[in-house]
Structure 1
Amino acid sequence: MLLCVTASHKTADFDLLERLSVHTSDIAPLIAEHDACVRGAVVLATCNRFEAYLDMDDPVTAVEAVGVEAALLAIEAATGVDAHEFEGSYRVVTGPPVAEHLFSVASGLESVVVGEGEIAGQVRRALGEARRHGTSSPELERLFQRASEAQRGVKNATALSRAGRSLVRLALDLADSRVTDWSDLQVLLVGTGAYAAATLAALRDRGADHITVHSPSGRGHRFATKHGLAWTDAAGFARTAAAADLVITCTSADHHVLDARVLTEGRGALAEEMPAAAEAASACPAMPGAYGGGRTLVVDLGLPRNVDPDVATVAGVDLLDLETIRLHAPLDELQATDAAREIVRDAAARFAQVGERQNLTPAVVALRAHVFGILESEIERLRDDDGRTEQALRHLVGRLVHTPTVRAQELATQGRAADYVAALDALFGITPAMPQERGDAEGRDAASA
Structure 2
Amino acid sequence: MLICLTASHKNAGFDMLERLSASSNQAAPRILNGHDALQGAVVISTCNRFEAYLDLAAPEGSSPVEVVHEAVRAVGAVAGLDAAELRTTFGFVHGNAVAGHLFSVASGLESVVVGEGEIAGQVRRSLEQARTDGTTTPELERLFQRASQTSRRVKNETELGGEGRSLVRLALDLAESRVTDWAQARVLLVGTGRFAGASLAALRDRGATDVRVYSPSGRAEKFAVGHGIDAVAHDEFAVTAATVDVIVTCTTVEHHVVDLALLEAGRDEHARELARIGALPSIGRPAEAPATGIRQLVIDLGLPRNVAPDVVELPGVELLDLETIKIHAPLEELGATDAARAIVMRDARAFGDSGEEQRLAPAVVALRKHVFDILDAEIERAASRGDDDGRTEAALRHMAGVLLHTPMVRSRELARKGDQQSWIDGLEAIFGVTAAPDEAVAGGAATGDLDAPGRRADAS
TM-score by length of 2: 0.88
**What's the counterpart of residue 442 of structure 1?**
none
Asked if residue 424 in structure 1 is aligned to residue 439 in structure 2, the reply is: no
**Residues 171-207 of structure 1, C-alpha deviations (whole Å, 9 max, x = no match):** 1111112212111111111110121111111101001
5 Å-filtered alignment, 1:31-430, equals 31-59=31-59, 62=62, 64-162=64-162, 165-275=165-275, 276-277=278-279, 292-378=292-378, 383-386=384-387, 393-430=396-433
Amino acid across the alignment from 2:183? S
Measure the CA separation in 2 of the matches of 1:347 and 1:183.
Answer: 44
**What is the CA–CA distance in structure 2 between the aligned matches of 1:394 and 1:249, rounded to whole Å?**
68
Report the CA distance shift for 1:117/1:277 in structure 2 as closer, same or farther (over 3 A): farther
Q: Is the 8 A contact 1:270 1:278 kept in 2?
A: no
**Residue 393 (structure 1) shift:** 4.4
Q: 1:282 Cα deviation (Å)?
A: 7.3
Match of 1:446 in 2: none
Q: Distance in 2 between matches of 1:348 and 1:436?
A: 29
1:370 aligns to what SS in structure 2?
Answer: helix
Is this contact kept in 1: 2:58–2:64, CA < 8 A? Answer: no
Distance, in Å, in 2 between the alignment partners of 1:304 and 1:395 is 64
Q: Distance in 2 between matches of 1:394 and 1:152?
A: 43
How far apart are the structure 2 equivalents of 1:14 and 1:186?
Answer: 29
Contact 1:75–1:82 (Cα < 8 Å) also in 2: no
Distance of 2:213 and 2:421 partners within structure 1 = 58
The letter for the 1-side match of 2:29 is P
Going from structure 1 to structure 2, the CA distance change for 1:246 and 1:436 (only over 3 Å counts) comes to farther
- With over 3 angstroms needed to count, the CA separation of the structure-2 counterparts of 1:40 and 1:235, relative to structure 1, is same
- Provide the rounded CA distance (Å) in 1 between the counterparts of 2:291 and 2:297: 7
Deviation at 1:278, TM superposition (A): 6.3
What SS does the corresponding residue of 1:319 show, helix, strand or coil? strand
**TM-aligned CA deviation for residue 19 of structure 1:** 1.4
Query: 2:238 touches 2:262 (CA, 8 Å); kept in 1?
Result: yes
* CA offsets 1:63-105 (integer angstroms, 9 cap, x no match): 5224412421221121011221113211111111111111111
User: SS of the residue aligned with 2:33?
Assistant: helix
- Cα distance change of structure 1 residues 168 and 337 upon mapping to structure 2, 3 Å threshold: same
Task: Note if contact 2:178-2:293 (Cα within 8 Å) is conserved in structure 1.
Answer: no
Superposed CA offset, 1:400-437 (max 9, x none) = 22211222232233333343233323333322233698
2:268·2:286 contact (CA, 8 Å) conserved in 1? no
Q: By how many angstroms is 1:396 displaced?
A: 3.8
Letter paired with 2:424: V
Secondary structure (helix, strand or coil) at the match of 2:88 reads coil
User: Comparing 361-370 with 185-194, which one deviates more in the overlay?
Assistant: 361-370
* CA 437–312 in structure 1, closer or farther in 2 if over 3 Å, else same: farther
* Inter-partner Cα distance in structure 1 for 2:351 and 2:326: 32
Q: In structure 1, how many angstroms separate the alpha carbons of the residues matched to 2:116 and 2:377? A: 63
Which range is displaced more, 392-401 or 350-359? 392-401
In 1, distance between residues paired with 2:438 and 2:101? 25
3-state DSSP of counterpart to 1:225: helix
Gap regions ≥5 residues in structure 2: 443-460
Q: Distance in 1 between matches of 2:7 and 2:348?
A: 21
Richer in helix (by share): 1
Does the 8 Å contact 2:362/2:440 carry over to 1? no
What percent of counterpart residues are identical?
56
Residue 151 of structure 1 deviates from its aligned partner by: 0.8
Q: Take 1:69 and 1:119, find their aligned partners in 2: how far apart are those partners?
A: 27
Letter in 2 for 1:318: E
Asked whether the equivalents of residues 250 and 300 of structure 2 are also in contact (C-alpha less than 8 Å), the reply is yes
| Paired letter, 1:427 | I
Residue-by-residue CA offset, 1:292-338 (whole Å, 9 max, x unaligned): 23321111111111111000101111111111111011111111111
Answer whether contact 2:365 2:440 (CA < 8 A) is retained: no
Partners of 1:389 and 1:437 in 2: CA distance: 30
Residues 284 and 197 from structure 1, CA distance in 2 versus in 1: closer, same or farther, beyond 3 angstroms?
closer
Q: Relative to 1, partners in 2 of residues 1:279 and 1:33: Cα closer, same or farther, differing over 3 Å? A: farther
Aligned AA (1:116):
E
Asked if the contact 1:179–1:291 (Cα under 8 Å) also holds between the matched residues in 2, the reply is: no
Call closer, same or farther: CA 1:128–1:392 in 2, change over 3 Å.
Answer: closer
Moved more, 91-100 or 274-283: 274-283
Shift of 1:135: 0.8
Task: State the SS of the aligned residue for 2:183.
Answer: helix
| Contact 2:186–2:210, Cα closer than 8 Å, also in 1 | yes
Matched residue SS, 2:28? helix
For the 8 Å contact 1:260–1:313, the answer to whether it is kept is yes
Distance 1:18-1:427 versus aligned 2 partners, 3 A rule: same
Contact 1:28 1:41 in 2 (8 A): yes
- The one-letter code sitting in structure 1 at the alignment partner of 2:410 is R
Q: 3-state SS of the aligned residue for 1:4?
A: strand
Distance 1:410 1:262, change over 3 A: same
